[in-house]
Amino acid sequence: MKLCFNQATTMKSSTLEKDLELCEKYGYDLIEIRLDKLREYLQTHTIADLKNFFSSSNLKPFAFNALEGTLFATPQRWEEILKELDLFVEVGHEIGCNRVVVVPSPDVGDKTVSQIREESIRVLNLLHDRAPEFTLAFEFVGYPNLCVNTFGQTYDIVKNCVIDKVGAVLDCFHFHAMNSRLEDLKTASADKIAILHVDDCEDLPVGMLRDHHRLWPGEGAINLDSIFSTLKEIGYDAMASVELFRPEYYDMDPEDCIRVAKEKTVDCLSKYWEIG
Ligand code: ZN
């Protein structure tokens, strides 16, 4: 199991340049690069600088985060999404990264489950046409107002999408937050899990959790053991990415945050997988 760092964890305390240096120092295998951090980096660096870093590091890029608000988008928002995707393709081609997180939309009104499935498949096809070499990692969000908010709903979309290069993101926080069912995960195919996001959270009722309630893996209310043992059963062993958005962790020195994030994540994962 490869260990990955998601830049959300140090979003307000660090930069891409610093995250790269620290993730390499602390022995992560992979990093997920955020759009805002990439844009900031490219103000003072070139794509060639990024390529040079990865060509001499053990750390490798795994995915870009994220195309957001992709479903039922206005024509204006859709144009922006395509430009964001074009940037990921341009950079990804140079650094060897061909995976992008695709996030559904909030507040879409009274759309039915089947209308949302149809729109999701339409959008995934359009993104695939634009970037056929990219794997599209579709991430449900465990908030009540997000139109795709459980693992079962996501897997139904992914399964019905004819494109090979589409998979689900399983984020343990989002899985827990809207009571996704382990039964749905048990019937999933490991090769359709495109990314695993690892985290924990405070013990709030269904529908009340938000990103800022995330905690270090193993320190909260999520039954990570049930998720990990199910993933193990279905044969998933690709990668796990620590992804936290907690304000208290933004107050830490990013070096401490990256070190602690690794220790806590490895502690939880190593009961099930050999890391590295
Ligand atoms: Zn996530």
Q: Which residues contact 200 (CB under 8 A, 6 or more apart)?
A: 172, 173, 214, 215, 216, 217, 218, 219, 220, 221, 222, 224
Q: How far is the CA of 93 from the centre of ligand 1 (A)?
A: 23
Q: How far is the CA of 174 from the centre of ligand 1 (A)?
A: 7
pLDDT tens sequence for the chain (276 residues): 999 999 999 999 999 999 999 999 999 999 999 999 999 999 999 999 999 999 999 999 999 999 999 999 999 999 999 999 999 999 999 999 999 999 999 999 999 999 999 999 999 999 999 999 999 999 999 999 999 999 999 999 999 999 999 999 999 999 999 999 999 999 999 999 999 999 999 999 999 999 999 999 999 999 999 999 999 999 999 999 999 999 999 999 999 999 999 999 999 999 999 998
- Give pTM, 2 decimals: 0.98
| Residue whose C-alpha is closest to residue 143's, from 270, 245, 258, 30 | 245
Q: How far is the CA of 197 from the centre of ligand 1 (A)?
A: 5
Q: How far is the CA of 215 from the centre of ligand 1 (A)?
A: 13
Q: How far is the CA of 213 from the centre of ligand 1 (A)?
A: 13
**Nearest 5°: phi and psi at 194?**
-80, -30
Q: How far is the CA of 35 from the centre of ligand 1 (A)?
A: 14
pLDDT confidence of residue 77: 98
